[in-house]
Amino acid sequence: MGRAESRTGVWVVGAFGSLGTTTIAGVQAIVRGLVPPTGVVSEDPAFHGLGLPPLERLVFGGHEIRRDSLVESAQRITRENGSIEPSWTETLRPDLERTSARIVPGVVAGGGAAIEALGDGWCPAAERTARESVNRLVADIEAFQRESALDRVVVVNVASTEPQCETGEATQDLEILERHLDSAEPNSFRPGTLYAYAALQSRAAFVNFTASTSCLCPAIEQLARNRGVPYFGNDGKTGETLVKSGLAPLFRLRRLEVLSWIGYNVLGNRDGRVLAADENKKSKIGTKDAVVPSILGYPLRTHVGIDYVESLGDNKVAWDYVHFRGFLGHPMAMQFIWQGCDSILAAPLVIDLVRFADHALQRGESGPMRHLASYFKSPIHVTEHDLYRQFEWLLDYARSHAQQSR
C-alpha cells in the first residue's frame, strides 16, 4: 500500500474539550474545503518533501472524562467565541457524529480536585488497580486501530493541566512503575501517566501538548525506549510564551540588558478554570517562566501570572512588560498585549505535531523528537528556547529527511 493511501489514527486525550473539538472539526472543515489551512505550519512548502500524511487521511478518536458530543461542543464554541461558524457544524455533522462515536471514557481519578470536579461519572469507577485502568485504555486504542484499519496511531494529550506530578519512585523507574500499576489504586497515579503508558504500550507515538509533567516522567521515557517509539512534550507554545521566545532574541542580539520581564495572562476557558487551582497553576507557570532567562543567558526578574476570568471564555489576553537597559545604562521599556483564542492558536500545532510524529513513527524513529522543540513551552531534553533557532532544527530535519526520501 502506497504512502498516500495509508491511514493515520489520531487518538486525542480530552477530545470533547475546546481544543480537541477545534482540532477535529477544523481538520474536517479543511478537508471539506470550508476553510483554508491557515496556521498549519506543516502545510508549508518547506515540508512537502517529507510526505506527511494528508489531512484527509487522518482518522480521529479519543478519551474523555465527560459524556458529550463533538456537535454539541462545536455549538458551545460557536456561542462562546464564534470561532466555528454555525453552518460548518451543520455541514460537518455526519463527520462529527461518526468521530464522537469513537470517543470513549478515560481516567479521571487522580487528576486532582479541579479536574475531578469536571467528571460526570462517565469514567468507570470500579477498577481496583491502575493496571486494570491501563489495560482498558490500551484496549481502546488497539480497538481504534483495528476497527478503523489504521496503519499507525499517534496519541496526543490535550486534556487540562494536572497538578504537578510528585516525583515518587514510581514515576522515576519503570520497574517500580510496573509493580505499582499492579498493586496501587488507579488514583495513586496522575491520569497523564496512565494515558502515556497506554499509548506507548500500544506502540503509538505520544505527544504531550499539556503542561502535565506526569506524562513524560523518567519511567515513561524508559518505556518509550523499550517500545522504540517517538514521543515529545511538554506544553504547547501558543501565545504569550510564543511571543516571548520570538522577542527575547531581539534583546540578546542587540545586547540590550533586560532587567525584568513580567507577564500576566487572563483567560476564561475550562483550562483556565483548572489553572485557577493553585496546584495546577504551578505546573504551567514553571514551564513558562524559564524561557526568557534561558534565551538571554543571564538571570533576571521574571514573573508569570495566570488568572481565570470567566467572561473571556476561550479568549485569552496577556500583557507583558519588559524593563530593559540600553546604552549608558539608560532604562527603557517595551510592552506587548496578546489577544488570542486559545484553541484556535493551539489546534494547528496539534495537527502539525501529529503529522510529524506520524512521519517519525513510520520511519521507525524513536526517542524524544527534539526537532519539534519550537512547538513547546518546555521541550524536554532541550535547553534552547529561541523560537527561530528551534525552528531551524525542524527545517534541518525536513531538509535531511527529504534528501533521504529521494
- Write the binding mask 134 to 173 for its own copies: x where contact by CB under 8 A, - elsewhere: ----------------------------------------
Is 274 near its own copies (CB under 8 A)?
A: no
Is the CB of residue 335 less than 8 Å from the CB of residue 320? yes
Is 332 near its own copies (CB under 8 A)?
A: yes
- Write the binding mask 66 to 105 for its own copies: x where contact by CB under 8 A, - elsewhere: ---------------xxxx-x-------------------
Which of 259, 285, 290, 402 touches its own copies by CB under 8 A? Answer: 259
Which of 122, 173, 201, 264 touches its own copies by CB under 8 A? Answer: 264
Cβ distance to its own copies smaller for residue 101 or 337: 337
Q: Among residue numbers 385 through 404, which ones bind its own copies (CB under 8 A)?
A: 387-388, 391
Three-state SS string over the chain comes to: CCHHHCCEEEEEECCCCHHHHHHHHHHHHHHCCCCCCCCCHHHCHHHHHHCCCCHHHEEEEEEECCCCCHHHHHHHHHHHHCCCCHHHHHHHHHHHHHHHCCEEECCCCCCCHHHHCCCCCCCCCCCCCHHHHHHHHHHHHHHHHHHCCCCEEEEEECCCCCCCCCCCHHHHCHHHHHHHHHHCCHHHCCHHHHHHHHHHHCCCEEEECCCCCCCCCHHHHHHHHHHCCEEEECCECCCHHHHHHHHHHHHHHCCCEEEEEEEEEEECCHHHHHHCCHHHHHHHHHHHHCHHHHHHCCCCEEEEEEEECHHHCCEEEEEEEEEEECHHHCEEEEEEEEEEEHHHHHHHHHHHHHHHHHHHHHCCCCEECHHHHHHECCCCCCCCCCHHHHHHHHHHHHHHHHHHHC
Cβ distance to its own copies smaller for residue 330 or 406: 330
CB 73, min distance to its own copies, A: 15
CB 129, min distance to its own copies, A: 40
Cβ distance to its own copies smaller for residue 199 or 322: 322
Cβ distance to its own copies smaller for residue 218 or 388: 388
Is 55 near its own copies (CB under 8 A)?
A: no
Is 33 near its own copies (CB under 8 A)?
A: no
Given CA atoms 48, 49, 52, 53 in this order, what sign does their dihedral have? Answer: positive
The alpha-carbon radius of gyration of the chain (Å, integer) is 21
Which of 167, 226, 335, 400 touches its own copies by CB under 8 A? Answer: 335
Is 257 near its own copies (CB under 8 A)?
A: yes
Cβ distance to its own copies smaller for residue 176 or 256: 256
Is 328 near its own copies (CB under 8 A)?
A: yes
Is 278 near its own copies (CB under 8 A)?
A: no
Is 38 near its own copies (CB under 8 A)?
A: yes
Cβ distance to its own copies smaller for residue 110 or 340: 340
Instruction: Return the residue matching grid coordinates 524593563.
Output: 323
Span of 1-9, 28-36, 138-146, 362-370 interacting with its own copies by CB under 8 A: 28-36
Give the residues lining the site for its own copies (CB under 8 A): 22, 26, 29, 35-36, 38-41, 43-44, 81-84, 86, 242-243, 246-247, 249-250, 253-257, 259-260, 262, 264, 266, 301, 303, 305, 307, 309-312, 317, 319, 321, 323, 325-341, 344-345, 347-348, 374, 387-388, 391
